[in-house]
A and B are shown apart, each in its own frame.
Chain A
Amino acid sequence: MTLVAPVPVQVVDRRSARAFVDAHVVPYADAYDRIGRVPEDLLRHVAAAGLWAPFLPPESGGAGMDLVTLGEVHEEVGRGCSSLRSLLTVHTMVAWTVQRWGTPEQRARWAPGLAAGTTLGAFCLSEPGAGSDTSAIATTAVEGGGGWVLDGVKKWTTGGQRADLFLVFARTAASIGAFLVPRSAPGVRVTPIEDMLGTRASMLAEISFDGVVLGPDALLGPSSGFTAGMVLTGTLDLGRYSVAAGSVGIVQACLEASAAYAACRRVGGRPLAELPLIQAKLSDMVTDARAARLLLAEAGRLKDAGDAGTIMATWIAKYFASTAAVRHAAEAVQIHGANGCSPDYPVARFYRDAKVMEIIEGSNEIQRITIAGQAERETTR
């Protein structure tokens, strides 16, 4: 079975992203979901299209893409395949963090490979005993011998099976530090996690670090508690932005699949699309897709402007888009009836993938707590 089409196009905007995704991703995404991985051919096509880290500046090997456009591109990828979008998300987080916090030497060492996709990045924060509560992480980085020694276990690492470079958050004497750890470092062990509910092709892994010796240049940003929190906040902010974009893509995919199905499927001699109850579902998909897209664009615009308001705008966009994705994926399955529960249509995949969006990069509950905290502050002004 061929799993990818040849000849990728360069992705520079939403239009070219859509063309790339329609040619290289949409026809094969169900197969990736079934085999539980994104094949190497597609990873190479993503690289050839310049999709891995186009937001990096040209001197780092990127195209200097603005973040509004990056959001549009990730939406398009998410429309086709949430697993591939997840791989892009964590890679984006690593590449951005190197660019934002790296020294010139760290940038020179890692950014070109991250931009070209010859070095794939993954993000290691969660552990068996620490998810939402990041302060509970138990992985340690102990300073000594002019560098660091890393010990601990990270879980649910998207792309971990395939990544070359891990961005690992670990406890230091002072606070929490962000470390760049090559997969090839002695003491790094990768154990695949298979058979997840959704984003099944995103090649999750548990990564253990057993006395991994790192140089002083493994640490990103200064090791004060103040900035460690910021490295993490900034990294998660961009991840959240990408997941929000991917969630908009899921809503759009649900809409396109449902509208096409409703136009063809006939009941009582009429297409489903003429039934008011079905029309209500489709109109809600149209409305929420647009609303979520606007929230995302606003968050992106604030990022491009360097405006601090982007962090809350991104929380809100991700909350709205991920919950909309779950709602509309459920309705998309409903519109497809038994076919929606079958492997013959993509909506069952959308349904499973959408649920993941409510858990990653800040679960729904954490989002609500954060957004409500802002509301409380604003109303007491």
Chain B
Amino acid sequence: MSHPTAQEQILDFVRGRYPQAEIDAAQDIFALGFVNSLFAMELVMHVEKTFGVTIPNEELRIDNFRTATAMAGLVARLSPTVAAA
């Protein structure tokens, strides 16, 4: 069985929180209008815990979190081994 990619795992998390929305990896989740600061915090915590990374302040830019693809890219920069998996 193959492991889900970072992008798939992130997408699962977002979809789990907002099952009524149709979200793909390229979807700008902030443009959907339901992201509040609570969810933003949950998102950051989820990425940090799931991939064992610490996101430095300078990477905490909205562009890094707009889409599952962008978040997976961030994870890849912070932790190359995770990205390769």
- List A residues at the B interface (Cβ < 8 Å): 101, 103, 221-222, 224-227, 229-230, 232-234, 237, 305-311, 370, 377, 380-381
What is the CB-to-nearest-CB distance from A300 to chain B, in angstroms, rounded to a whole number? 15
B49–A307 CB distance below 8 A: yes
- Tell me if A233 and B38 are in contact (CB < 8 A): yes
Which of A226, A310, A381 is in CB contact (< 8 Å) with B16?
A: A381
Q: A225-B62, A307-B49, A377-B18 are in contact. List 8 more A-B contacts (CB 8 A).
A: A101-B57, A221-B60, A226-B65, A306-B45, A310-B45, A311-B38, A370-B38, A381-B16
Given contacts A306-B48, A377-B17, contact A229 B57 (CB under 8 A): no
The 6 closest A-B pairs by CB, nearest first: A229-B37, A308-B42, A308-B45, A226-B62, A306-B49, A233-B41
Question: Once the chains are docked, how many angstroms separate the CA of A307 from the CA of B45?
Answer: 6
B43 at the interface (CB under 8 A from A): yes
**Cβ of B44 < 8 Å from any Cβ of A?**
yes
- B2: CB under 8 A from chain A? no
10 A–B pairs (Cβ distance < 8 Å), ordered by A:
A222-B60, A225-B62, A226-B61, A226-B62, A229-B36, A230-B44, A237-B41, A308-B42, A311-B41, A370-B38
- What DSSP secondary structure best describes chain B's contact surface? helix
In the complex, the answer to whether B37 meets A232 with C-beta atoms within 8 Å is: yes
Contact of A221 among B38, B42, B57 (CB under 8 A): B57
Contact between chains at B49 and A308 (CB < 8 Å): yes
Contact status B60-A224, CB under 8 Å: yes
Contact residues in B for A224 (Cβ distance below 8 Å): 60-62
Which of A233, A234, A305, A311 sits near B49, CB closer than 8 Å? A305
Contact A380 B61 (CB under 8 A): no
**Complex interface: chain A residues within 8 A of B44 (CB):** 230
Interface membership of chain B positions 1-45, coded 1 if the CB is closer than 8 angstroms to chain A and 0 otherwise? 000000000000000111110000000000000001110111111
| Cα of A234 to Cα of B65 in the assembled complex, Å | 17
In the bound complex, what is the Cα–Cα distance between A305 and B52 (angstroms)? 11
Is A381 a contact partner of B19 (Cβ separation < 8 A)?
yes
Interfacial chain A residues near B20, Cβ < 8 Å: 377, 380
Whether the pair B37, A233 counts as a contact (CB closer than 8 A) is yes
Of A103, A230, A307, A381, the contact of B41 (CB 8 Å cutoff): A230
- Is the CB–CB distance between A230 and B37 below 8 Å? yes
Q: Measured between C-beta atoms, what is the minimum distance from B34 to chain A in Å?
A: 9
> A14 → chain B, closest Cβ, in Å?
26
CB contacts (< 8 Å) of A234 on chain B: these are 41
Provide the residues of chain B in CB contact with A226, threshold 8 Å.
40, 60-62, 65
Contact of B40 among A230, A237, A309, A310 (CB under 8 A): A230
Q: Which residues of A contact B62 (CB under 8 A)?
A: 224-226
Q: Which residues of A contact B16 (CB under 8 A)?
A: 381
